[in-house]
Chains A and B, each alone.
Chain A
Amino acid sequence: MSSSHAAITKLFAWPSWVNRRSFWVVMVWVAISTSLYTASATGTALINWNGLGQFGEFWLASLNPDLSPEFLAIIGRATLVTFAYAVCGTTLSVGLGFIGGVLAAETWWRTVFPPSAKGSWLGPLMWRWVRVLLAFPRAIHELIWGLFFLSILGLDPVVAVVAIAIPFSAIVAKVFSEILDETPQEPLNALLNSGAAPATAWLYGLLPQALPNLLSYASYRFECSLRSAAVLGVIGAGGLGYEILLSLQSLRYSQLWTGFYALILLNGTVDLWSAWMRRRLGFTSRLDLHTPAEVRKKSNALNPALHRSQDWLLRLSWGLIALVTPLCYWRLNIGWERLWSPRTHRLLADILTASRPVWPTLEGFQALLHLSGLTLAMSILAMALAGLGGILLSFPAAQTFLLPAGCLSIGGTKGAVRARSLFWGSRWILLVSRAIPAPIWALVFLFVLFPGVWPGALALAIHNLGILGRLMAEVNENLDERPVRSLQALGASPGQIILYSVLPQNLGRFLTYIFYRWEVCIRETVMVGLVGAAGLGRLLTEQLSSFDYSGLAITLGCFILLTLCVDWVSQQIRKTQAEF
């Protein structure tokens, strides 16, 4: 008895319940309950039953999209435009993000300023500085970047491309730097110790190993760019976002749905194609954050046999990418010369002078604090719901679980049919939730909810649920199956298998994704704050439409501070997880 008790204690190795982990668990619960309290503090009813008719009207239209040839032609052209913007935005942000990623990697600065050499204190300093610098572009939503560039570059496709590229390169840089830092360092160190120059050592010792993860992430970025390109349509970029906004202005639901189906088709195709590419290349995870070493080895080792036999298929795909990318740049006819034209200089100087912040009074400061609190509450509720829903849907949506030959497959033909419908059903829900832009979700929820934090929180929750669920399904697919198989062989029920072999392996990565997405969610509150009449987003839109640049500077400052906080918290929590 006493020996088994000792073994259990050893297994868990918890010296005390008071540790960093339990501290953060308590903090998360406190944050969620405070947000719940804030959201419900208005004292009014939450659900507006009288709006069910309007709610139903929106959904009924999904069965009856506008398929007239003229409208389909408009939507078809718009789809291509959105696609072209996404291609340009992705290629630029991956290129710039790669450079930024190297500069933001702790490993890089350790390579350049080795700990033993003189001036080694400079390395960590530079690293921290670059990390903080990267938070600025990330904190501001693409749409705000778009309006900023519009006011210095004018009406041109270059505005939307740069508006996607700037925040996205910062995100890519952040994730790339983490991938680089988490890549095994032994080969790099071996090369460095044998006297290779830093650049050469990186080229041969680190980058080849990190490359699969970098490429996977780039393909995920492409899906994100598609969604952003759709949003930027409203400021003159054209494309699906523009057409959807036009239909939204007069609430032509059947036209709206045609646009949504185009977005769903575009997102779905890119999703399938990039998954196929990754499978062919032998790595399957699109966003590889915080992966246990064994799983990574399994999922990302290039399988030489598979690699060779599929080589020509892949080459063709690469060829098509090489062909389509320049075509997209050419199609958009991007006015790069605007970036350095004298007019841009003049307009930039104008806007910088106009946006000199006027410090708020105490009262104004309190109002900002209150609005920041609402924005934070909205994002926390959204992420809690999206995370929970994403985890639940990620099981039926994973190919390796319920489907025949999966680890939780239901026996018999009937079971297979059920599993298949569950699989496609959940995938479809995830696809629709992420393809429909968050402001549309907000309006739809506003029909059945009274205004406040909730409509915005739910809109962001649904949109992010689609993204998180898809990422989490992939985590499930890349699961190390050995614990699952052994529990199954021992006769464990599906519930027990999930609780004792799947979640212990995956929960950490699920949480990492949720915290990663939380930061994006803070930015996205800009898009829904207006309809829900809550948070900093509403203030920002009001300032934008009043051309109140000095007020705008302060509000954007709040967003940057919030992003830095969120970044810090997620870093702390990830560190805590890594310890266990």
Chain B
Amino acid sequence: MKLFIQRATVLGSLVLSLTACAGQQTTPESGGELNNAEAPSLAVGAIPDQDPEKIQRLSDKLTAYLESELEVSVEYRPVTDYAAAVTAFKVGDLDLVWFGGLTGVQARLQVEGAEAIAQRDIDEQFTSVFIANVNSGLQPFTDISGLKALKNKTLTFGSESSTSGRLMPQYFMQKTGLTLDDVKGKVGFSGNHDATIKLVEAGTFEVGALNSQVWDSRLEEGAVDQSKVSVVWRTSPYYDYHWVVSPAVEERYGAGFTQKLQTALTGLDASVPAEKELLELFGAAKFIPTENQNYAQIEEIGRQIGKIK
């Protein structure tokens, strides 16, 4: 009997909380052919590449900011898988997405007329770092040819679609004539930049390649054991993360909406406290305009490496 009361209470509270949640929920609206509603929301998504536990805060702030600037309803839609975000953009369920360099190109190639509109100040001069475990015997070097020392070492990248954690490091390796078959065993894919640091720190892999922004901030936090792992080389700069917008928004909200979006994003002002917080969540001092042409190199490398078919 006692058992039953316990169970009933659990179930009862479950029902209640479900009802409560359902009450709070906002109806997801999606654009395109599916919805006949008068003005569907602008669907915004982001690939959370670092510190994503802040995503809740970021999405609330971003939605509020864009709604006030653009005077349309905005909805943040969570996706964490790179391929899923590109696909959702392709089918038209995401209108504005914060992509990485490679995923942005992949997405634009699948949607004719899509445009890269804004990036962070740091994305213009983005870099990757190669880090090595002390036991690997690798010494820091300054010239790209130093990468040849990676031959017969074990190596891990981050996510397989990552620009800074895979594409560009692989490109720089190829420039010195080093292919993925030259490293010891198979190249690993740790899944994310932080896992790369931990796995190289642990010594599971001798070398790792990752986003230098993540590396620098982990160093600052003191989260890295520098007696075990250190940087051996910092790459030369390339273009990375950016906002990509679908041409569908012009149809839906009128001509010039893309321009309006770009102005809103680049208009984020660090001297306004609320906007400063949003910029900080993105790890940026400000957003600057960008254009498709900036990612031509990424596209070329993507094709070379086989990430773009």
Question: Interface residues, chain A, CB within 8 Å of chain B?
Answer: 42, 44, 48, 50-51, 53-55, 71, 74, 76-77, 80, 83-84, 147, 150-152, 154-156, 234-236, 238, 242, 245-252, 255, 269, 273, 276, 313, 316-317, 320, 323-324, 327-328, 330-331, 333, 335, 337-338, 341-343, 347, 439, 443, 446-452, 530-531, 533-534, 538, 541-542, 544-548
Closest to B84 in A: A235
**CB of B144 closer than 8 Å to a CB of A:** no
**B contact residues around A54 at 8 Å (CB):** 198-199, 201-202
Contact A451–B160 (Cβ < 8 Å): no
A342→B21 contact, CB < 8 A = no
- Cβ-defined contact, B202 with A250, below 8 A: no
CA distance in complex: A533, B188 (Å) = 5
The reply to whether B203 and A48 form a contact with Cβ atoms under 8 Å apart is: yes
The smallest beta-carbon distance between A532 and chain B, in angstroms, is: 8
| CB pair B77 A236 closer than 8 Å | yes
* B-chain residues with CB within 8 Å of residue A541 when the two chains form the complex: 160, 189
Q: Which residues of A contact B83 (CB under 8 A)?
A: 147, 544-545, 547
Bound: A325/B61 CA distance, A: 34
Q: List 8 A-B contacts (CB under 8 A).
A: A50-B228, A154-B92, A246-B55, A247-B53, A249-B50, A449-B204, A546-B306, A547-B83
Q: Which of A320, A447, A538 contacts B15 (CB 8 A)?
A: A320
Which residue of chain B is the closest to A280 with respect to CB atoms?
A: B4
Chain A residues with CB under 8 Å of B80's CB are 234-235, 242, 245-246, 249
Judge whether A531 and B161 touch: CB under 8 Å. Answer: no
Chain A, Cβ-Cβ closest to B223: A251
Q: Which residue from B19, B93, B160, B306 sits with its C-beta under 8 Å from A154?
A: B93
Given A154-B88, A320-B11, CB of A77 within 8 Å of CB of B21: yes
5 nearest A-B pairs in the assembled complex, by CB-CB distance: A51-B202, A155-B93, A50-B203, A154-B93, A246-B52
Give min CB distance, B241 to chain A, whole Å.
15
The chain B residue with its CB closest to the CB of A529 is B189
Residues of B within 8 A of A247 (CB): 52-53
Residue of A nearest to B187 (CB): A533
Q: Does B258 contact A (CB under 8 A)?
A: no
Given A152-B91, A341-B33, 6 extra CB contacts under 8 A:
A84-B18, A320-B12, A446-B199, A446-B204, A534-B186, A547-B83
| B142 on the A face (CB < 8 A) | no
- Residues in A with CB closer than 8 Å to B190 are 443, 531
Pick from A313, A338, A342, A439: contact of B4, CB under 8 Å: A313
Q: Give the shortest distance, in Å, between A165 (CB) and chain B (any CB).
A: 19
B18 touches A451 (CB 8 A): no
Q: Kindly state the separation between the CA atoms of A545 and B158 in the bound complex, as whole angstroms.
A: 13
CA distance A327 to B88 in the complex (A): 27
Q: Does B274 touch A at the CB level, under 8 Å?
A: no
Q: Which of B24-32, B262-270, B286-294 contacts A (4 or more CB under 8 A)?
A: B24-32
Chain B residue at smallest Cβ distance from A55: B202
Q: Which residue of the partner chain, among B4, B55, B194, contacts A251 with CB atoms under 8 Å?
A: B194
- Least distance between B2 CB and chain A CB atoms (Å): 12
Task: Flag if A545 contacts B78 (CB, 8 Å).
Answer: no
* A333→B26 CA distance, assembly (Å): 10
Interface pair B22/A542, CB less than 8 Å apart: no
Residues of A within 8 A of B21 (CB): 77, 80, 331
Whether the pair A327, B198 counts as a contact (CB closer than 8 A) is: no
> Across the two chains, which residue of chain B brings its CB closest to A550?
B309
Which chain B residues in 61-109 approach chain A with CB under 8 Å? Answer: 77-84, 86-88, 90-94, 106
Q: Which of B48, B87, B198, B308 contacts A150 (CB 8 A)?
A: B87
Q: Find chain B residues with CB under 8 A from A452 CB.
A: 185
- Contact call A150/B84, Cβ cutoff below 8 A: yes
Residues of A within 8 A of B77 (CB): 155, 236
A195 to chain B, nearest CB (A): 46
A337 to B28, CA, bound (A): 14
B3: nearest chain-A partner, CB-CB: A276
Whether, in the assembled complex, B10 has its beta carbon less than 8 Å from a beta carbon of chain A, the answer is yes
Check B192 for interface membership: any CB of A closer than 8 A: yes
Binding site for A on B (CB under 8 A): 3-4, 7-8, 10-12, 14-15, 17-19, 21-22, 25, 27-28, 30, 32-34, 43, 48-53, 55-56, 77-84, 86-88, 90-94, 106, 110, 135, 154, 156, 159-161, 184-192, 194-195, 198-199, 201-205, 225, 228, 306-309
B202 and A451 contact, CB distance less than 8 A = no
With a cutoff of 8 Å between Cβ atoms, the chain B residues found around residue A342 in the complex are 33
A-B contact number at CB 8 A: 211
CB-CB under 8 A from A255, the residues of chain B are: 53
Interchain CA distance A533-B190 in the complex, whole Å: 9
Given known A-B contacts A320-B15, A545-B160, A44 and B185 have beta carbons under 8 A apart: yes
Name the distance in Å between B131's Cβ and chain A's nearest Cβ: 15
**Residues of chain A with a CB closer than 8 A to B93's CB:** 154-156
A531: chain B residues within 8 A (beta carbon): 188-191
Query: What is the CB-to-nearest-CB distance from B248 to chain A, in angstroms, rounded to a whole number?
Result: 12
Minimum C-beta distance from B275 to chain A (A):
22
Q: Within the complex, which residue of A313, A323, A335, A447 is in contact with B202, where a contact is CB–CB below 8 Å?
A: A447
Query: For the complex, what is the distance from the CA of A155 to the CA of B114, rounded to whole Å?
Result: 19
Report the nearest A residue to B56, measured CB to CB: A74
Residues of the B chain whose Cβ atoms lie less than 8 Å from the Cβ of A251: 192, 194-195, 198
Q: Which residues of B contact A448 (CB under 8 A)?
A: 202
CB distance from A540 to the nearest CB of B (A): 11
Provide the residues of chain A in CB contact with B8, threshold 8 Å.
Answer: 316, 320
Inter-subunit contact B186/A155 (CB<8 Å): no
A533 to B18, CA, bound (A): 41
* B-side contacts of A538, CB under 8 Å: 186, 189
Verify A451–B191 contact, CB threshold 8 A: no
Max chain B Cβ within 10 angstroms of own Cβ: one of A147, A249, A343, A533: A249
Q: Is the CB of B307 within 8 A of A546?
A: yes
Residues of A near B48 (CB, < 8 A) are: 246, 249
CA distance A44 to B185 in the complex (A): 9
- A-side contacts of B189, CB under 8 Å: 530-531, 533, 538, 541
Output the least CB separation between A175 and chain B (Å). 27
Decide: A547 near B86, CB < 8 A? Known: A451-B154, A451-B205, A533-B188: yes
Instruction: Judge whether B191 and A248 touch: CB under 8 Å.
Output: yes
Determine whether the beta carbon of A242 is less than 8 Å from that of B78.
Answer: yes
Q: In the complex, how many angstroms separate the beta carbon of B104 from the nearest chain A beta carbon?
A: 14
In the complex with contacts A54-B198, A156-B28, A331-B22 CB distance below 8 A: yes
Task: Give the chain A neighbours of B81 by CB distance below 8 A.
Answer: 147, 234-236
- Shortest C-beta distance, A454 to chain B (Å), equals 12
On whether the beta carbons of B78 and A238 are closer than 8 Å, the reply is yes
Q: How far is the CA of A53 from the CA of B49 in the complex (A)?
A: 25
B18 & A324 in contact (Cβ 8 Å cutoff) = yes
Report how far A331 CA is from B159 CA in the complex, Å: 33
A71 to chain B: which residues have CB within 8 Å?
53
User: CB distance B185 to A533 under 8 Å?
Assistant: yes
Q: Which residues of B contact A443 (CB under 8 A)?
A: 190-191, 195
A343 in complex: contacting residue of B10, B22, B91, CB < 8 Å: B91
Q: Which residues of B contact A450 (CB under 8 A)?
A: 154, 204
- Cα–Cα, bound, A453→B140 (Å): 32
- Closest CB in chain B relative to A530 CB, distance in Å: 5
- Given contacts A533-B185, A546-B308, whether A80 and B7 have CB atoms under 8 Å apart is no
Most buried by B among A150, A238, A531: A150
Residues of chain B with a CB closer than 8 A to A74's CB: 56
Knowing A155-B77, A236-B84, A331-B18, say if A451 contacts B188 (CB, 8 Å): yes
Q: In the complex, what's the smallest C-beta–C-beta distance from B237 to chain A, in angstroms?
A: 24
Decide if A249 touches B185 in the complex (CB within 8 Å). Answer: no
CA–CA, A155 and B191, complex, Å: 23
Report the nearest B residue to A239, measured CB to CB.
B78
Given contacts A452-B185, A546-B306, A546-B309, contact A249 B18 (CB under 8 A): no
- The CA of A53 and the CA of B228, in the complex, are separated in Å by 11
Interface centre among A54, A83, A316, A337 (most CB of B within 10 A): A54
Instruction: List the A residue with the shortest CB-CB distance to B32.
Output: A343
A443 to B194 Cα, complex, angstroms: 12
